[in-house]
Structure 1
Amino acid sequence: MTDQQQPMIHEEGLPGHESTLEPKPDWAPRYPGSGRLAGKVALISGADSGIGRAVAALYAREGADIAILYLCEHDDARKTVEIVEREGRRAIAIAGDVGDKDFCDRAVAEVIDRFGRLDVLVNNAGEQHPDKDITDISEEQLRRTFQTNIFGMFFLTQAARPHLGKGAAIINCTSVTMYQGSKELLDYSSTKGAITAFTRSLSENLVGEGIRVNAVAPGPIWTPLNPSGGASEEKLEHFGENTPMGRPGQPNEVAPSFLFLACEDSSYMSGQVLHPNGGTVVNG
């Protein structure tokens, strides 16, 4: 066993391709842009599909150039590049594993070389593997889930930090499972708890530098993550029905939370978490 586990892309089709998913998730922004990110550069991990794609599309509509980090879904990444370019903005797609510190360093260096600046970092990439019993979670899976979901956030933030100045924003993706728990996602929900603590601590660390750090905790959202193996068949059959709204959310219902936290609309917020989760009331 090495210190770094390789991506578990062999397991049941993970991380999943949006191009093969039916019905297709709704990623398109719902309203005209108003220049809230004009002239900014945003780096978004996991931006090839799902929530990341919707955030990339919305940020581009609001005037930002976009760096798309993704693992191996080249078709989805090309589609996201096209979406950004149709909004009149520049885009680059960089394939690699955010759990690899060297990749994160190289990716940020490429963003700076291409765009000359970095204003918004969105730590969105993540993976999950359902298990009904804690004894079913292999050491490989446990290490890999933490490596992607929380180590990757540390690595990307470390690489980006020298390029983030006053007015920059970092937005991390946590989950409703951090607040509710999840009996089938023990390792995943544990990483989401770590992400929330990371967000609050990093906010305290950087707020004096004029850099705001916040998070978004989505509920059940229709993305490739769950139907590609991230949820059991039983859970998928009734996906999102346990929310007060009685349905799963769409990526473009989550993206506005990421926009709000990236722009000056949230200039007096740091260390906070927004909850687009279908009406589920949680603490925090």
Structure 2
Amino acid sequence: MNDSDTFQPEIDEQPRMPGAESEMEDKPAWQPRFPGSGRLEGKVAIVTGADSGIGRAVAALFAREGADIAIVYFADEEAEDAEKTRAIVRDEGREAICLQGDLGCREFADEVVAAALERFGRLDIVINNAGEQHPDEEIEDITEEQLRRTFQTNIFSMFFLVQAARPHLGKGSAIVNCTSVTMYKGSDNLLDYSATKGAISAFTRSLSENLISDGIRVNAVAPGPIWTPLNPYGGQPPEDMDDFGKNTPMGRPGQPNEVAPAFLFLACDDASYMSGQVLHPNGGIIVAS
């Protein structure tokens, strides 16, 4: 690792960015809302997509609960946000490293795990949160490139990171994946994204069955519309942003710090009797789980 603890691998091609939180006028709320209680004391977590949004909120909350964090983010343009997340973690009295690259590439997933082990000496929690989405009104509008890219980012990355992490996870470890309300209720303009979220839910349940005998729990969180950079920077049509989240029973979008506690619960021993399950912070939308 270099002096800045920031790892930047060689990447041949980068997908489109999810957007920078630092440029948003209406900043998402990432701040933990309650004092910590040591539920992750001494643990080490990899959190993907941790530069902003839900990932930043998860990193902040995990740090408050005692974990050191490997912050994984995608593009150079998100470096400022990633450094902000690292500062947040350090303000909570924990350590963090920033790892920049494309998790859709198996080699980078291997390098993320190696870097976390080199710095912290252990790995206890994997949070698969990174993702991308691109709205299209017609299925014919989804290009082969976009389809492959969305699956590579959203589900291939989870396979690659878990494969890299698996030899270093033992009894009591936890994996938490980020799926979506769109897996359960569908989305007429996010066809490829929703399909990946269905794959993630099936992956979560199957991986749970695969790892449960070794004492490794695998669960997922399925957020509804959450105010993060993903949506205003291309994840939703611009004309829909004024009404974003207003169709939920609560009549508003959620904030990242309203989702992060679901990840904490599933990552810590409070959920020691839960595996293969999905939590639904979605503003009151009733779905079949």
TM-score normalised by the shorter chain: which range applies? Answer: over 0.9
User: Residue 235 of structure 1: CA displacement?
Assistant: 2.1
1:97-112 counterparts in 2 under 5 A? 97-112=102-117
* Aligned mate of 1:207, from 209, 212, 217: 212
Any conservation in 2 of the 1:244–1:279 contact (CA below 8 Å)? yes
**Secondary structure at 1:221's aligned position in 2?**
coil
* Aligned mate of 1:268, from 273, 280, 284: 273
* Structure 2 residues not aligned, in runs of 5+: 1-10
User: Residue 5 of structure 1: CA displacement?
Assistant: 9.0
* Aligned mate of 2:159, from 154, 157, 160: 154
- Distance in 2 between the 1:181 and 1:104 partners? 29
Letter in 1 for 2:43: K
- Whether 2:89 is the aligned partner of 1:84: answer yes
Residue 45 of structure 1: aligned partner? 48
Residue 6 of structure 2: aligned partner? none
- Distance in 2 between the 1:236 and 1:161 partners? 39
- Distance in 1 between the 2:241 and 2:163 partners? 36
User: Residue 22 of structure 1: CA displacement?
Assistant: 1.7
Letter in 2 for 1:33: G
**Secondary structure at 1:42's aligned position in 2?**
strand
Letter in 2 for 1:123: N
- Distance in 1 between the 2:135 and 2:109 partners? 27
* Aligned mate of 2:24, from 18, 21, 27: 21
After superposition, the C-alpha distances for 1:7-47 in whole angstroms (9 at most, x for unaligned) are 322xxxx3100000120000000000000000000000000
- Whether 2:237 is the aligned partner of 1:218: answer no
- Distance in 2 between the 1:264 and 1:205 partners? 20
* Aligned mate of 1:170, from 164, 175, 192: 175
Letter in 1 for 2:175: I
- Whether 2:68 is the aligned partner of 1:68: answer no
After superposition, the C-alpha distances for 1:176-230 in whole angstroms (9 at most, x for unaligned) are 0000100000000000000000000000000000000000000000000000011
After superposition, the C-alpha distances for 1:140-179 in whole angstroms (9 at most, x for unaligned) are 0000000000000000000000000000000000000000
- Distance in 2 between the 1:235 and 1:242 partners? 11
- Name the Cα RMSD after superposition: 1.0
Any conservation in 2 of the 1:6–1:144 contact (CA below 8 Å)? no
After superposition, the C-alpha distances for 1:74-124 in whole angstroms (9 at most, x for unaligned) are 000000000000000000000000000000001100100110000000000
Provide TM-score, normalisation by structure 2: 0.95
How many corresponding residue pairs? 277
- Distance in 2 between the 1:52 and 1:74 partners? 14
* Structure 1 residues not aligned, in runs of 5+: none
- Distance in 1 between the 2:39 and 2:126 partners? 16
After the TM superposition, which of the residue ranges 166-175 and 229-238 deviates more from structure 2?
229-238
**Secondary structure at 1:92's aligned position in 2?**
strand
**Secondary structure at 2:47's aligned position in 1?**
strand
**Secondary structure at 2:201's aligned position in 1?**
helix
**Secondary structure at 1:282's aligned position in 2?**
coil
1:229-248 counterparts in 2 under 5 A? 229-248=234-253
Letter in 2 for 1:36: R
- Whether 2:15 is the aligned partner of 1:8: answer yes
User: Where does structure 1 differ by over 6 angstroms across 4 or more consecutive aligned residues?
Assistant: none
**Secondary structure at 1:191's aligned position in 2?**
helix
Letter in 1 for 2:247: N
Letter in 1 for 2:46: L
Provide TM-score, normalisation by structure 1: 0.96
- Distance in 1 between the 2:80 and 2:259 partners? 23
1:248-263 counterparts in 2 under 5 A? 248-263=253-268
**Secondary structure at 2:270's aligned position in 1?**
helix
